Amino acid sequence: MLSKILMPSGGQTTDEMLIQKWNKHVGDTVKRGDILFEIETDKAILTVESFAEGVLLEVRFPEGVMVKVGEVVALIGNPGDLDQEKKENQKQKQEEKVDRKEKRDAVVNKELVAETDTPARFNGSKKILASPLAKSLAKIEKIDLEKVARFVSGNLIKKADISRYLREQTKAPVETEIESDHYFIDNSQIRKTIAKRMRESLNTAPHYVISVDVDMTAAIALRNKLNKNGLSKQGLKVSFNDLLMKVVAKAVESAPLVNASFSENKLKVFRNVNIGLAVATETGIIVPVVHNVNKKSIAEITADSSRSIARVKNNQLTESELQGGTITISNLGMFGIDRFTAIINQPESCILAVGGISKKPVVVNDAVVIRDIMNITASFDHRIIDGAVGAPFLQKVRELLEDPELLLY
């Protein structure tokens, strides 16, 4: 039995996707669960598994082509099945051809009736023959029929002559390409969507930004202790992002509006904290989501985030791993960035921009000491989160990082 492989859905905001790579080729044997091809959505590169078994008989779209959701991209079955499919397609095409011919003949007959010789007199003396359709189009486009008459060779001006005249008048001069000081790179689908989403976010949500410096001395000690005495035996390595996820989920308890999204009639406040972690790839930023962070231990958060980051780098993410985020963390500390601001990932209402940890002089008990300092800059959607909510939330994040034992309460 012939099985049709359709382009899957890429999410609510995606109606077409790019076929990036075929992992199977025509003639290959395919088993259920085999990865057939990879697609690039507006969020990530995803793999598509086969639900059918048999031989890959036909690939309808090559790599590098945009395909609409629901389109048939491949056929799997037995070789004899393909002959039957071709016969059915030929029959359908013949029926469509006959239908198009009948419609075209009807249009032509109607046009012939309308395109009758109708004289038009201009400047009191010169007679110009034009069809009613031509005169109507000339009037709409504000074209002098005398100019068209000098342009065409026939005695009767028709609608097609007006259209051809318009095309000739609007042709732009061809510029000769010369060597220049720049070159072009094609935008990926991900990059196009990032540009669109960031513009929409700034146009939709009135951002405001606040920033704090955090003494990471205690957090560093806790991370080292966890990695040395416990989690390393499980094959896990806690990152500062993992600690920050746990801290953010705890801080949301005192500021639930930070974990919400805006609509005109109601605010949608989420009970679970689902944190997206912005990961840089060659094609753009991808944000896998760790779900239910508020219900997980640091070990569980570390395991989930490590797995997601690995799947991003290996192009193995599923759509469910990219959806449902309520807060995003973007960390550029590994690039030597001390502080920056980030644009909110709609429809979320908060994004935390995390800088690198660096040694700085600070005053502790009236004495100047050197401490490991990290900056966190939060961008909030002012439609939901006022300064009286955002500031205490960020202060709570700092308090928990500087005294992580408070996470136990």
Question: Mean pLDDT in each 10-residue stretch from start to end of the chain (409 residues)?
Answer: 83 72 91 88 78 90 87 88 72 72 60 48 59 82 82 74 78 52 69 76 90 97 88 84 97 96 90 93 83 95 92 80 92 94 93 96 93 97 95 97 92
CA distance 214 to 211: 10
Among 343, 369, 368, 373, residue whose Cα is nearest residue 355:
373
Exposed (0-12), middle (13-18) or buried (19+): which is 344, by Cβ within 10 Å? buried
- Quick check: is 382 catalytic? yes
At 167 the pLDDT is: 75
Give the CA distances from residue 395 to residues 116, 377, 381, 401, in Å, rounded to whole numbers and listed in that order.
82, 11, 17, 10
At 123 the pLDDT is: 42
CA distance 188 to 172: 29
Residue with tokens 């034992």: 405
Exposed (0-12), middle (13-18) or buried (19+): which is 408, by Cβ within 10 Å? exposed
Vertex 143 angle, CA 141 and 147, to 5°: 155
If one counts every other C-beta atom within 10 angstroms of the C-beta of residue 392, the result is 15
At 165 the pLDDT is: 82
Query: Model's pTM, two decimal places?
Result: 0.62
At 102 the pLDDT is: 66
At 168 the pLDDT is: 76
CB distance 376 to 328 below 8 Å: no
CA distance 152 to 231: 84
At 370 the pLDDT is: 96
Q: Which of 25, 207, 291, 382 is catalytic?
A: 382
Q: Domains in the chain, please, with CATH?
A: 3-77 (2.40.50.100), 115-170 (no CATH), 189-408 (3.30.559.10)
At 313 the pLDDT is: 83
Please compute Rg for the chain using Cα positions.
32
Beta-bridge partners for 33: none
Q: Please tell me whether residue 76 adopts helix, strand or coil conformation.
A: strand
